[in-house]
Amino acid sequence: MESAPPEGPTEFAEGSAAPPSGPLANRLADKRWNWRSDAYAELEREFRVPDAAESLFNEHADIIKKIVADVHPTAQERALETATAFFLFAPIATCKGVGASAIKNVADKSLGGRPGAKAKSQDTLLAIIECEMANEVVDAMIARFQAKLPKLVVAAIQVLRAALMSFGPKVISSKTVIKAIIPLFEHGDPGVRTEVSGIVVDFYRWAGAAIKTHIENLRSAQLTELEKSFEGITPGEVPITRWLRSQKPDPASAAAAATSKPVLSALDFVDAVNVLAKLPKNWPAVVLEKEKWTERKELLDALVSAASVPKIAPDNYSEVEQISLPSQYFL
């Protein structure tokens, strides 16, 4: 959940140095954590001013990817709030320029931290997804599945769950996530296994029976537990609550968009296959050049085999589709 903007400057302990002063740029990099924290809060307020100038975001883009890795826990949480505001309101091009570095620093430095930092990290990552960077966030979270600390694996799965339930399965690549998540059913940490079961149930909310082909090889006890979790759920009844910037509905259609409930099919969990890549180069011409019908048949059999897949990737198949073989070719 997005954090509320800070209402005022950071409070300072009794007996501490004077309140922060001086240029904002200097305070953002100050050695004193409370000065940095105060500067982060000030910058967030500037980001949230309606119609803030594009130059404000461009000027501070580089600092955003750095402050999320602040080593002081309290300052780090403030920094994450500032980063969230940045990614919610900065121009798309500016967000993308620093997004990859910010994702990495959030995942490495704050996602597995204290509860407050963990929650605010999730807010920041969801804001980055809005900036048309869903795949980058998904890939970074999947990479953390190999982390030695179970709490980081748990946090990464929780980000994916929040993203899935907010943006829907058309934004969060279903086949990518489900492929990566299934092996974690054998993870040694029970907290990880609980989150894995949870995200599979979340997928069931969108896909229903289409998810079951991907869990059929689990142990019987795991399948039984999941089937119990599926009970009472009507697939396809989940509304989308957040959108990519390019998808955001205008206010007049926002109510209708909020009731949009995309449903997955089994094909959404399958990789598309490029049939042409599996055929000999210049396949149509090669077929027509063959004199023996047995050779032509072998090539046609190769086409049938390559195309016998659940999902074919888009490409220019016009020559394959338009090939016309006179009947005498097979005599």
Looking at residue 84, which CATH number applies to its domain? Answer: 1.25.10.10
pLDDT given for residue 328 in this prediction:
43
Structure-derived torsion over alpha carbons of residues 283, 289, 294, 300, reported in degrees to the nearest 10 = 20
Please tell me the least confidently modeled range out of 104-113, 163-172, 215-224, 308-317: 308-317
119 within domain boundaries = yes
182 within domain boundaries = no
Q: Is the pLDDT confidence value at 323 over 70?
A: no
78 within domain boundaries = yes
203 within domain boundaries = no
116 within domain boundaries = yes
140 within domain boundaries = no
28 within domain boundaries = yes
Neighbours of 152 (CB within 10 A): 20
Cβ-contact 217, 184 below 8 angstroms: no
Tens of pLDDT, residue by residue over 185-239, are: 999 999 999 999 999 999 999 888 888 888 999 999 999 999 999 999 998 888 8
Last residue of a domain, one of 85, 112, 131: 131
pLDDT given for residue 153 in this prediction:
97
Q: Is the pLDDT confidence value at 10 over 50?
A: no
Last residue of a domain, one of 99, 131, 163: 131
Total domains present in the chain = 2
Q: pLDDT band at 72, cuts 50/70/90?
A: very high
Specify the pTM.
0.77
Q: Is the pLDDT confidence value at 324 over 80?
A: no
173 within domain boundaries = no
Q: How many residues would you count in the chain?
A: 331
Q: pLDDT band at 174, cuts 50/70/90?
A: confident
pLDDT given for residue 14 in this prediction:
40
Please give the residue range of the domain that contains residue 98. 1-8+19-131
Last residue of a domain, one of 78, 100, 131: 131
User: How far, in Å, CA of 83 to CA of 124, rounded?
Assistant: 6
Q: Is the pLDDT confidence value at 259 over 70?
A: no
Share of residues in the chain with pLDDT > 90 (%): 60
The DSSP-derived string for 219-244 is -HHHHHHHHHHHTT--TT-PPP----
